[in-house]
Amino acid sequence: MVQAYILIQTEVGKAADVAQTIDKIPGVTQADDVTGPYDVIVKAEAPNMDDLGRLVVARIQVVTGITRTLTCPIVHL
Amino acid sequence: MVQAYILIQTEVGKAADVAQTIDKIPGVTQADDVTGPYDVIVKAEAPNMDDLGRLVVARIQVVTGITRTLTCPIVHL
Amino acid sequence: MVQAYILIQTEVGKAADVAQTIDKIPGVTQADDVTGPYDVIVKAEAPNMDDLGRLVVARIQVVTGITRTLTCPIVHL
Amino acid sequence: MVQAYILIQTEVGKAADVAQTIDKIPGVTQADDVTGPYDVIVKAEAPNMDDLGRLVVARIQVVTGITRTLTCPIVHL
Amino acid sequence: MVQAYILIQTEVGKAADVAQTIDKIPGVTQADDVTGPYDVIVKAEAPNMDDLGRLVVARIQVVTGITRTLTCPIVHL
Amino acid sequence: MVQAYILIQTEVGKAADVAQTIDKIPGVTQADDVTGPYDVIVKAEAPNMDDLGRLVVARIQVVTGITRTLTCPIVHL
Amino acid sequence: MVQAYILIQTEVGKAADVAQTIDKIPGVTQADDVTGPYDVIVKAEAPNMDDLGRLVVARIQVVTGITRTLTCPIVHL
Amino acid sequence: MVQAYILIQTEVGKAADVAQTIDKIPGVTQADDVTGPYDVIVKAEAPNMDDLGRLVVARIQVVTGITRTLTCPIVHL
């Protein structure tokens, strides 16, 4: 299992809608509105790195109002 | 009371209009056009962090011409 | 109660130590090593914004190996 | 007269000291600790652009604990 | 007289047109296409900081294809 | 011969199409989808710096879905 | 097998030494000096994401002269 | 002949010394102190891209007080 934080920038005024929509996507375990350089911070998980990439591209990036996502995979050092 | 600086990027050519419009929003105490990576710098205040977030999203980000806002809450260390 | 994500950059080679040390600080609820522009992502909480600022400066930033922290307060829009 | 916002990054743990020291420098009219990508935001003024540059280099950047300053001159469009 | 470098990002594929158009604007003394985080680098001058701000907003930012400009005033320290 | 890495940001959801399209452009020797601040990383080559610039502007930046490219020429120090 | 590009910033003047040293590390398949916001771009591979993280932290980040690494895992979408 | 702009960040308080020292290096045709995210902007030229890379690493980056350089080669599109 691979986990990651996904730092999301949205169009102005869309942060709340984006967080609510993402929160219902299977594989997403947290979704919070934040202030600062990012608008929404999400925690998600998938069986492996490629599936995580597909979750981000096929399920999260299609949410209306998202302009950039930055995926930060969790590593166990 | 929570105060914050809000660093704003605008569409090209819209900085002056954005600053003038924001300056009239209740809770905004300063609004200046600047050069550099940001186009307008605003100082604002609200009763608490959630209200500040709502002021930014519901009152400031809806101003035509804004592309990104970066909220920097003031802290008393 | 105010919650925030804290995105942390560390000196090269220090990420694992930093995450382990931060994980034991009262108020910190998550601390993960990540790859990408940040090295450790932390979730923390405090009674208000000023206390959160003090938690970051007085408890987290003093951890050896941290070079930058970026606090992103959670807002309920 | 030229005015500017100066966005300051400090060494970890030095933000409060930096803000207090800068607040006493002649020409500085505001100095606040903030969270986010910057640690201290300052407003300052000088007779012209060159004097403002010298104020930043000769009076502000010499304050112990500052690692980067970003000067954003105010313009009246 | 105030001089500045203006670092410009353009829409993809528009850098050459933008540089050629800007090169003919009065007050602009250099305009080069570059690779890297910026697409065009311009050197310009104006009688004072406010006029420089207006040159950027009223003459340069209106050029079709520009998405961001970053003005870096020259200072004589 | 000049070689370069080209770090590409795409519109959300377009990374896979962009990488596949770029991979067929003459002069491109690698094209991979990645996660992080960039979406596609490309390696390309051209006879000289100007030709490399033209390859990026005339062949790569015209690919639908690209929003920013960052060219990093390889140097032999 | 997981592959990644690793974008590296070095201390000034250390890029050539860093690239040469990294090029000999097992798991590293390319290491080039570049100009732009990064100084060295590396391609590396490991059996899984955690091993890749350990390769970066335990083998690459310990190379003298590196100040920041940015790991961009390759994904097959 | 290859030309480039080199955007330089310096240690706090060192911008003026850095600009003066660089201005005397053969191949450098302009060197100005600026405000904003960079501290000094230089224009330089060399017979080809590799020589330009060596000029930056061997002659410019060795100047005391420089922390980062960002080379932006000029391209004729």
Instruction: List the single best residue of E10, E11, E12 to mutate versus F (max F Cβ within 10 A).
Output: E12
Asked if H34 lies within 8 A of E74 by C-beta distance, the reply is yes
The C-alpha torsion from G63 through A75 and C19 to G31, rounded to 10°, is: 20
Burial of D26 (C-beta count, 10 Å sphere; 0-12/13-18/19+): exposed
Average model confidence (pLDDT) across chain A: 96
Closest by Cα among F67, D73, E68 to B13? E68
Interchain pair C12, G68: CB under 8 A: yes
| Token code pair at residue F75 | 């140097």
pLDDT of residue C40: 98
Is it the case that chain D and chain A have 3 or more CB pairs lying under 8 Å apart?
A: yes
Touching pair G, B by Cβ (3+ pairs < 8 Å): no
pLDDT tens string, chain D, 77 residues long: the values are 999 999 999 999 999 999 999 999 999 999 999 999 999 999 999 999 999 999 999 999 999 999 999 999 999 99
Concatenate the DSSP letters of all residues of C43-69 into one string.
EEEESSHHHHHHIIIIIITTSTTEEEE
Q: Which chains touch H (3 or more CB pairs under 8 A)?
A: B, D, E, F, G
pLDDT in tens, A65-75: 999 999 999 99
> E53: distance to nearest CA of chain B, Å?
7
How many CA within 13 A on the CB side of residue E59?
Answer: 19
Minimum distance, in Å, between the CA of residue C41 and any CA atom of chain F? 15
CA pair distance E22, E73, nearest whole angstrom: 18
Closest by Cβ to C12, choosing from G52, G53, G69: G69
Q: Do E35 and H75 touch (CB under 8 A)?
A: yes
Q: Which amino acid is at B47?
A: P
In this prediction, residue A27 has a pLDDT band, given cuts at 50, 70 and 90, of very high
* Record: contact E34-H7, CB cut-off 8 A: no
Report pLDDT for D75: 96
Buried/exposed code over F26-35 (b: 16+ C-beta within 10 A; e: otherwise): ebbebbbbbb
Structure tokens at D23: 């607040």
Q: Which residues of chain E, if any, have pLDDT below 50?
A: none
SS3 of residue H52 by DSSP: helix
Closest by Cβ to B70, choosing from A13, A16, A37: A37
Residue with tokens 């966005």: D7
Q: Domain map of chain E by residue range?
A: 2-73
Distance from the Cα of E68 to chain H's closest Cα (Å) equals: 15
pLDDT for E23 equals 97
Q: What parts of chain G have a pLDDT lower than 50?
A: none
Identity of the amino acid at G77? L
Token couple for A4: 């990651």
Structure confidence at residue C63 (pLDDT): 96
Interchain proximity H36–D69, CB inside 8 Å = no
Inter-chain residue contact H62 with G13, CB threshold 8 Å: yes
User: Which residues of chain A lie closer than 8 angstroms to B73, CB-CB?
Assistant: 35
**Alpha-carbon distance G61 to G72, whole Å?**
15
Partner-chain contact B72 D36, CB within 8 Å: yes
Of B41, B17, B39, nearest in space to B29 by CA: B41
Q: Which two tokens stand for residue D22?
A: 């800068």
- CB-defined contacts B:C, below 8 A: 32
Give the model confidence (pLDDT) of F33-52 as tens digits.
999 999 999 999 999 999 99
Chain E residues whose C-beta sits inside 8 Å of any chain B C-beta: 4, 52-53, 56-58, 61-62, 66-73
Nearest CA in chain F to E37: F70
The topology under which CATH files domain D2-73 is Alpha-Beta Plaits (3.30.70)
Contacts of residue D8 in chain H, CB cutoff 8 Å? none
Q: What is the pLDDT of residue F17?
A: 96
Q: Give residue H59's region: left, alpha or beta (phi > 0; psi -120 to 50).
A: alpha
pLDDT at residue number A56? 95
What's chain D look like in SS3?
A: CEEEEEEEEECCCCHHHHHHHHHCCCCEEEEEEECCCCCEEEEEEECCHHHHHHHHHHHHCCCCCEEEEEEEEECCC
Per-residue pLDDT, G27: 97
Distance from CA of D48 to the nearest CA of C (A): 33
Closest to D43 measured CA to CA, from D19, D10, D63: D19
H41 vs E41: CA distance, rounded Å: 11
pLDDT value of position A52: 96
Beta strands in chain B (DSSP E): 2-10, 28-33, 40-46, 66-73
Sheet holding F66-73, edge to edge: F28-33, F40-46, F2-10, F66-73
> Which residues of chain C are under the pLDDT cut of 50?
none
pLDDT of residue C52: 96
Per-residue pLDDT, averaged over F16-30, amounts to 97
Q: Looking up tokens 């596949």, which residue turns up?
A: F20
- Chosen from E1, E2, E3, E5 to mutate, greatest number of chain H CBs within 10 A: E5
ipTM of the complex: 0.92
Interface test with E, best of H72, H74, H75, H76 (most E CBs within 10 A): H72
What is the reported pLDDT for E11? 94
